[in-house]
Amino acid sequence: MEHPDSILIVDFGSQVTQLIARRVREAGVYSEIAPFQSAAAAFERMQPKGIILSGGPASVTTENSPRVPQHFFEAGIPILGICYGQQVMSAQLGGNVIVSGDGGEFGSAFVEVKSPCALFDGLWAEGERHQVWMSHGDKVDAIPPGFTPVAVSTGAPYAIVADEARRFYGVQFHPEVVHTPDGGKLIANFARHVCGLSGDWTMAEFRETKIAEIRAQVGKGRVICGLSGGVDSAVAAVLIHEAIGEQLTCVYVDHGLMRAGESEQVVSLFRGAYNIPLIHVNVEELFLSGLAGITDPELKRKFIGKTFIDVFDAEAKKLGGAEFLAQGTLYPDVIESVSFTGGPSVTIKSHHNVGGLPERMNMKLVEPLRELFKDEVRALGRELGLPEIFVGRHPFPGPGLAIRIPGEVTKERCDILRKADAIYLEEIRNAGLYDTIWQAFAVLLPVRSVGVMGDGRTYDNVLALRAVTSTDGMTAQAFQFPGDFLPRVATRIINEVKGINRVTYDYTSKPPGTIEWE
């Protein structure tokens, strides 16, 4: 069943298109993203009550740059164009776009409200200045007939434009990012006030929609689900089980790159909580021998991604074949690996479950969480009644300790890191800090340093500790520990873990760093 009250988001390849969808979901409105190439078909199917045009890397001024299907402008429904979306709408409706002579605006800016507008009704008033976030090199220099400028910024005379009669709005800035403090409210105002939608869409409905989709995709087929003990795969498994029951078998892969005691804990926790068949495979030797000699982070990720699939294939065969592989893939895994829509976004790192997958796969993927962000998955997990011990767990990457050992991965180095990591996490739990930190872990550096212990010289490994706060893993800040915490942990690790004689703390935020070191 198509959703009666929906918004169609047309994707022009922005890195943050999914954030638009997220803001619309937060407003309690159902939305779908369609790449501009297939937007017309999505429109036909969805019969949306409003349209949002995303930003994108292209320039409207170049020949063959992406366009909106022209009939969208004759459908009589509200349209909000964001950045590229505003530019392309202006160009198609008789305005003009130029490359900014001054190179554009990037980062924080202020808009000044000139006249009232339904887009910010009840939110912003005339004469006020509001912070927004800009990222553009082009700008609209003539607005189409019917439009008026309702807010300006220093670099963009048409920071917000509106054609109230047709309910078309264009913003040069990005309301979907957190750096536009009122952005979420603007998008909610568009979805509810301008489009007239009720805002009663919930995670409970998301659950129902996904269950129907899973049933339609899988039919009577057999599914195996990679279960890691992390929240994403636990939520995916429980959701899929609700959809197809006994057609599902979970597979936990112990690749020898897990944390201390993790395998036993995950398997017993899951078996204790759910009556879903779970196979525990031990393939440490396969992974460690294959990783021998590999030092490049991308090569490690590709090897791990492919070997995971080999293991899933082998397990599927033992079960008499499976047509589908389910994974708890989330949106950040996707956007960092490749563009969601096949558009021109940049690869940051190949997450093992997306960019690290082999080119040819025997099984088709079932990934019901592919559009969500971590905190939304947690909300869905709570909706599904998952125990808090799964829902609240820090994320742990599929490639595990392999990407926390820059340089070559060996069993000996894994063992050293496992011990240090366990002490760090134990201290974090004892200090009552686990739930305020988004993710914490140790990294074993390929660096040795000189120390003095018991009057003797040591020449041993350096360990870096990392802890970050975040909401969705897309951006992160280093966690500020209380004064005596880090010295205490450093002392314990150096005293208790043979092979480490120096401990450092990583203060890098994301961006410019990433959370993991590789």
Ligand X SMILES: Nc1ncnc2c1ncn2[C@@H]1O[C@H](COP(=O)(O)OP(=O)(O)OP(=O)(O)O)[C@@H](O)[C@H]1O
Ligand Y SMILES: O=c1[nH]c(=O)c2[nH+]cn([C@@H]3O[C@H](COP(=O)(O)O)[C@@H](O)[C@H]3O)c2[nH]1
In the annotated binding site, the residues are: 228-234
Candidates 83, 132, 231, 494; binder of ligand X (CB under 6 A) is 231
Instruction: Mark the binding-site residues for ATP, compressed into ranges.
Output: 228-234
Judged by CB under 6 A, does residue 466 bind ligand Y? no
Decide if 176 is catalytic: yes
Binding mask 303-332 for ligand Y (x = CB under 6 A): -----------------------------x
Binding of residue 502 to ligand Y (CB under 6 A): no
Bridging pattern class, strands 6-11 and 79-82:
unpaired
Q: How far is Cα 200 from Cα 208, in angstroms, rounded to an integer?
A: 14
Please report whether residue 17 would count as binding ligand X according to CB under 6 A: no
Handedness of CA 177, 393, 341, 39 (dihedral sign): negative
**Residue 183 binds which of ligand X, Mg ion, ligand GLN, none (CB < 5-8 A, kind-dependent):** none
The one catalytic residue in 117, 130, 136, 176 is 176
Binding residues for ligand Y restricted to 339-358, rule: CB under 6 A: 349, 351-353
Q: How far is the CB of 490 from ligand X (least distance, A)?
A: 26
Cβ–Cβ under 8 Å, residues 55 and 16: yes
DSSP secondary structure of 464-502: EEEEEE-SSSSSBEE----TTHHHHHHHHHHHHSTTEEE
> Nearest CA to 337 among 372, 365, 291, 301?
301
Residue 353 binds ligand X, judged by CB under 6 A? yes
SS3 366: strand
Answer yes or no: 250 catalytic. Answer: no
By C-beta, is 439 or 501 nearer to ligand Y? 439
516 Cβ contact partners less than 8 Å away, ≥ 6 residues apart: 349, 397, 403, 404
Pattern of binders to ligand GLN over 110-149, x per CB under 6 A?
A: -------------------------xxxx-----------
Q: How far is CA 229 from the centre of its chain?
A: 19
- Point out which span in 35-43, 92-100, 275-283, 396-404 binds ligand Y (CB under 6 A): 396-404
Q: What is the DSSP letter of 120?
A: G
Instruction: Assess whether 246 carries a catalytic annotation.
Output: no
Catalytic residue of the set 105, 117, 130, 174: 174
**179: which residues sit within 8 A by CB, 6+ positions away?**
107, 108, 131, 132, 133
Identity of the residue, 172 or 228, whose beta carbon is nearer to ligand X in the bound complex: 228
Closer of 46 and 354 to ligand X (Cβ): 354
Q: How far apart are CA 269 and CA 260, in angstroms?
A: 15
352 to 411, contacts with Mg ion by CB under 5 A? 396
Report the SS3 class of residue 144: coil
Are 469 and 475 contacting, i.e. CB atoms less than 8 angstroms apart? no
399 lines the binding site for ligand Y (CB under 6 A): yes
CB-nearer residue toward ligand X: 116 or 221: 221
CA–CA distances in Å: residue 402 to residues 165, 181, 226, 441, 497: 58, 38, 18, 13, 19
Which residues contact ligand Y by CB under 6 A? 301, 332-333, 336, 349, 351-353, 395, 397-399, 439, 473, 510, 514-516
Which residues contact ligand GLN by CB under 6 A? 14, 55-59, 83-84, 135-138
Residues involved in catalysis: 83, 174, 176
